[in-house]
């Protein structure tokens, strides 16, 4: 590896962002302005990406998935399942004789898996002590910025079917 390096043979980006300290030089105002404008373009592209994601998520429909049979889990019991894709882990809790709720198991803070605390009757994230209401998935305490996405459940005969995902903001 050469100790001295001649930047003039390299491409422009290598010249502007050199590996060797000795090759560094001051960035001109014009170059810096160009960099800021490119960063601005990046922000705009980011906003367009969100528009695209929003459009695609509106078009997508959720499949109906048989999760469990009624009475399969005891009151205050829990069943884990995946919905709508195998990567989306969810948690279903039987809160009463005839009451079932299901939420995404991914904490809205940093995506740790939440669990049901029978003692406190709430969903808890063990990573940063984020607590969610078992009634509607809203944030009770801790750093999570949003409620847990709720899985829409429907009864069909003796079966519990997941039919959608309800995402809501805090307040």
Partner 1 sequence: MANPEPTRQRRGLVAIDGAMALIVILLVVQIWLLSATLEAFLAGHSGPVIPAAIFSGLLFMAALTLNIFVNRIDHSSRRP
Name the residues that contact partner 1, by CB under 8 A.
29-30, 32-34, 36-37, 39-41, 43-44, 46-48, 50-51, 53-54, 57-58, 108, 145-146, 166-170
- The least distance separating partner 1 from the CB of residue 123, rounded to whole angstroms, comes to 18
For partner 1, the closer of residues 152 and 167 by Cβ is 167
CB of 155 to partner 1, least distance (A): 25
Comparing CB distances to partner 1, the nearer of 68 and 108 is: 108
Our CB check for partner 1 shows the closer of 139 and 160 to be: 139
- In the complex, the smallest distance separating the C-beta of residue 47 from partner 1, rounded to whole angstroms, is 4
* CA 147 – CA 145 distance, rounded (Å): 7
Region label for 111, one of left (φ > 0), alpha (ψ between -120 and 50) or beta (otherwise): left
Residue 163's SS3 state is strand
Residue 107 has φ and ψ, to the nearest 5°, of -60, 140
Rounded Cα distance, 125 and 105, in Å: 9
Q: How far is the CB of 85 from partner 1 (least distance, A)?
A: 17
Closer residue to partner 1 in complex, CB, 68/148: 148
- Residue 159 bridge partners (DSSP): 69, 156
Q: What's the closest the beta carbon of residue 62 comes to partner 1, in angstroms?
A: 14
Distance CA 151, CA 64 (A): 11
Cis, bond preceding 166 (omega within 30 deg of 0): no
Nearer to partner 1, 95 or 138 (CB): 138
């Amino acid at each position: 590896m050469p100790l001295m390096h001649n930047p003039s043979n390299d491409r422009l980006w290598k010249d502007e962002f050199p590996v060797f300290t000795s090759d560094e030089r001051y960035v001109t105002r014009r170059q810096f302005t160009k960099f800021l404008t490119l960063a601005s373009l990046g922000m705009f592209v980011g906003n367009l990406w969100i528009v695209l994601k929003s459009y695609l998520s509106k078009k997508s429909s959720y499949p109906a998935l048989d999760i469990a049979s009624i009475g399969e889990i005891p009151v205050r019991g829990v069943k884990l399942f995946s919905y709508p894709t195998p990567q989306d882990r969810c948690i279903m809790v039987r809160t009463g004789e005839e009451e079932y709720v299901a939420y995404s198991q991914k904490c809205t803070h940093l995506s740790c898996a939440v669990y049901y605390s029978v003692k406190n009757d709430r969903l808890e994230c063990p990573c940063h002590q984020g607590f969610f209401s078992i009634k509607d998935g809203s944030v009770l305490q801790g750093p999570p910025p949003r409620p847990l996405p709720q899985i829409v459940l429907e009864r069909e005969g003796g079966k519990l079917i997941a039919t959608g995902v309800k995402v809501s903001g805090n307040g």
